[in-house]
């Protein structure tokens, strides 16, 4: 039996800038597209300090996760793309502050540049909240 694929969209995160969904869910899994640090209204943060961009990108990720019926405690895997390895410690600090005790598997990949001059992009795989038994 084929699973239905659901495209997830929320106004609490920036709209996609290309031909993709903010997230796609199939069964219990949610695949969140890379989130940059733009604000939900589409206004940019690429000129702001790294910490502010990272916090906004993580907030965008969490908004999409919530719209998919999940939460920070249900995130399985995170991949973060960070411009400049020197930003890794600050990314780790912001990430830990926001996610708290939640510790999904994670990779941080240093990259030379990101789209629109952003300094961080973050994507994730999460589980949906288990629905109550009928």
Q: How confident is the model at residue 2 (pLDDT cuts 50, 70, 90)?
A: low
pTM of the complete model? 0.93
Spell out where the chain has E strands: 5-8, 23-26, 29-35, 75-83, 105-111, 120-127
Q: Which two tokens stand for residue 9?
A: 């969209």
Please enumerate in sequence order all residues whose Cβ is within 8 A of that of 84, keeping only pairs 6 or more positions apart, or say none. 110, 119
Task: List C-alpha distances in Å: 72 to 16, 49, 87, 93, 96.
Answer: 21, 24, 23, 16, 12
When the pLDDT of each residue in the chain is averaged and rounded to a whole number, the result is: 94
The pLDDT assigned to 129 comes to 76
> Distance (Å, rounded) from C-alpha 115 to C-alpha 104?
25
Q: How confident is the model at residue 130 (pLDDT cuts 50, 70, 90)?
A: low
What domains sit in the chain, N to C, each tagged with a CATH number? 5-127 (3.30.1330.40)
Q: How confident is the model at residue 80 (pLDDT cuts 50, 70, 90)?
A: very high
Q: Which two tokens stand for residue 25?
A: 């869910």
Say if residue 133's pLDDT is above 60.
no
Q: How confident is the model at residue 1 (pLDDT cuts 50, 70, 90)?
A: very low
């Amino acid at each position: 039996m084929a699973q239905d694929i659901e495209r997830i969209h929320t106004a609490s995160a920036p709209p996609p800038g290309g031909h993709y969904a903010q997230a796609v869910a199939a069964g219990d899994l949610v695949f969140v597209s890379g989130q940059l640090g733009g604000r939900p209204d589409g206004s940019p943060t690429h000129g702001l300090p790294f910490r502010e961009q990272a916090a906004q990108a993580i907030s965008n990720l969490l908004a999409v996760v919530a719209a998919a019926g999940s939460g920070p405690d249900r995130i399985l895997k995170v991949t973060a793309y960070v411009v400049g390895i020197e930003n890794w410690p600050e990314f780790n600090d912001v990430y830990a502050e926001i996610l708290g005790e939640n510790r999904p598997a994670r990779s941080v990949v240093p990259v030379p540049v990101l789209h629109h001059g952003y300094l961080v992009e973050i994507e994730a795989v999460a589980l949906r909240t288990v629905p109550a038994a009928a």
